[in-house]
Amino acid sequence: MEKDEKIAKLRHTLAHLLASAVGNIYKFDKVKLTLGPAIDNGFYYDIDFCGEKVADSDLKKIEDTMKKKLPKWTEWEHKEISKDEALAFFKNNEYKTELINEIVERGEKITTYTCGGFTDLCRGGHLEYPSKDIDPESFKLDRVAGAYWRGDEKNKMLTRIYGLAFNTKTELEAYLKQREKAEKRDHKKLGKELDLFVFSELVGSGLPLWTPKGTVLRNLLDDFVWELRKAYGYMKVEIPHITKKELYEKSGHWDKFKTELFRITTREGHEFAMKPMNCPHHIQIFDRKQWSYKELPQRYANSTTCYRDEQTGELSGLSRVRSFTQDDAHVFCRMIQVKEELGTIWDKVVEPFYKSFGFNLKLRLSLHDPVHPEKYLGNKESWKQAEATLRELAQERKTEFFEGVGEAAFYGPKLDFMATDSLGRQWQVATIQLDMNQPERFDLTCVNEKGEKERIVMIHAAIMGSIDRFLSILIEHTAGNFPLWLSPVQVKMIPVRENHNKYAKKIYKLLNENNIRVEFDDTDTNLGTKVRDAKNNKVPYWIVIGDKEIEANKTTLESRDSGPLGQMTSEELLAKLLEEIKNKPARNAKA
């Protein structure tokens, strides 16, 4: 059995064991079991406790019961039953009844699995001999949360019990240690401590508000991406935040995302939507005229906010929001230009950007799921050609990649770049997508060498993807220790006493005039408190000015990452800082 398959089966088995333990403690006739899948790092089960309050403090007794029951879970018994038998067995559970009826509607067989005297509705996927194959020290219950039935806010709120599970106790302990480190780096925690962003109940969940310091971060990152793109012929465009329904109907987004759209009805009864993506708008800019092949590629770049009506329970800091800013770009070109354009984005934009932060990148070739062609626009031939083009590009460049079936966008396959952070976690970051379907739907062409209309193709390229989500990753990757060029405050001036202010302000003015973001700390506190404040705010450098510095006409520079750097003249100080900012080194960000 493959390792990934085995751990998935182990976690699914433990979800059933959890349900069995809950039923024994709280009585099967007083609780209603619903669903319990395997997930990354563990499992969960959603349960209607019918008014009984269950908290994290109750997890130990449930976990102890699971471990007591495990030795009796020797082997699974699988059984196919009729609809009537299933409805009779689960007659007092409206959740299972709903699932049974859906199984019948899909024309699938109804199956139950029994182990240790516990029977559940399930399609399978367990470890065959749980008592033998599961180490009781390799799992633990983690936390209690609320979850709407089927993820729908209109349904009843259930109690979700999460568990962690790995193949061995060692793996579980390693995960817990890593998670403890991650909690200290949590972007929600550090974002508040470093005064980068806030959420307001009056504004609404999932709608981040950016402080002056956070806005500096966003703008610098966006400027960096634009600096890389501008060198290769990209042009900035701008678009509105709303659109008529008809645009998304033609693009196919309405059918795909209509439940996730914020909709607006005007006084005249017209239906608009707040844009969840930018591509159809950029298509309209391209489609303003008939292009000659000599004028292609056309490369448009646009950092703009998009909106999606995410469910409240799925929101998470900056990682999952309702408003997010994309550093979006679209290239309109001929098929013969595709590989060169893809290569330029890959080499000249994606890799320089992520290398500057010390990320290691892996490539995922994201393909459509041939079992479910109904999920995608276009025909089999266009998908085959687009996927072959991306695969050939990766092979020609001798790049190691893995394939992700079902990970494609609904209009085309993708090159997805996976970044590994300083804690060893992997994130999908930049994406380059090849789209042959939107140009077909909007009839986008150029006039070729023969004077004939030629169908063009479209490349979607987002480097950060969502600036908000990228910042959540970057904050945790660096633990808030941003490199000098990106730090909202780059230098802090610290006069020891009031009589040192005059000389310190002279240095402050020099740095400020050279566009270095510098703060002057003239608070009525001692030197130790001022230095501690600089460290707590993760300022890359601070400059102490006292009697010795004034006497020598120099400054004493200290580094967040390297400690005391000694005295230097103001000219030497300025040259050092400007050189470091220009080079954008990742190594001065202490992870």
Spot the catalytic one: 330, 477, 530, 560: 330
Catalytic residue among 11, 364, 368, 460: 460
Residue 322, φ and ψ in degrees, nearest 5: -100, -20
Q: How far apart are CA 62 and CA 26, in angstroms?
A: 10
Residue 401: both structure tokens together? 């990649």
Residue 279 falls in the annotated catalytic set: yes
Q: Which of 46, 48, 327, 328 is catalytic?
A: 328
Q: Is 79 a catalytic residue?
A: no
| C-alpha distances out from residue 217 to 255, 486, 541, Å | 36, 6, 17
Q: Which tokens in the block code for residue 202? A: 């009056």
Active site residue 16: no
Separation CA 113–CA 117 (nearest Å): 10
How many other CB atoms are there within 10 angstroms of residue 510's CB atom?
16
Q: Do residues 156 and 49 make contact, with C-beta atoms less than 8 angstroms apart?
A: no
Q: What span, in angstroms and rounded, lies between the C-alpha atoms of 113 and 164?
A: 22
β-sheet bridge partners, residue 404: 366
Residue from 11, 126, 253, 279 carrying the catalytic annotation: 279
* Residue tagged active-site, from 414, 530, 538, 560: 414
Q: Is 460 a catalytic residue?
A: yes
State which amino acid sits at residue 389. T
Q: How far apart are CA 171 and CA 421, in angstroms?
A: 19
**Which of helix, strand or coil describes residue 406?**
coil
- Name the catalytic one among 326, 433, 438, 490: 326
**Is the C-alpha dihedral spanning 85, 89, 94, 95 positive or negative?**
negative
Using CA atoms, how far apart are residues 533 and 521, in angstroms rounded to an integer?
10
* 441 part of the active site: no
**Distances in whole angstroms, Cα of residue 511 to Cα of each of 403, 516, 582:** 49, 5, 15
| Closest CA relative to residue 45, chosen from 90, 112, 95 | 95
Quick check: is 330 catalytic? yes
Q: Is 154 exposed, middle or buried (0-12, 13-18, 19+ CB in 10 A)?
A: exposed
Q: Which of 32, 281, 308, 554 is catalytic?
A: 308
- For residue 78, indicate whether it is catalytic: no
Place of tokens 């009826």: 101
Q: Residue with structure tokens 């520079």?
A: 557
Q: Which residues are catalytic?
A: 279, 308, 326, 328, 330, 414, 460
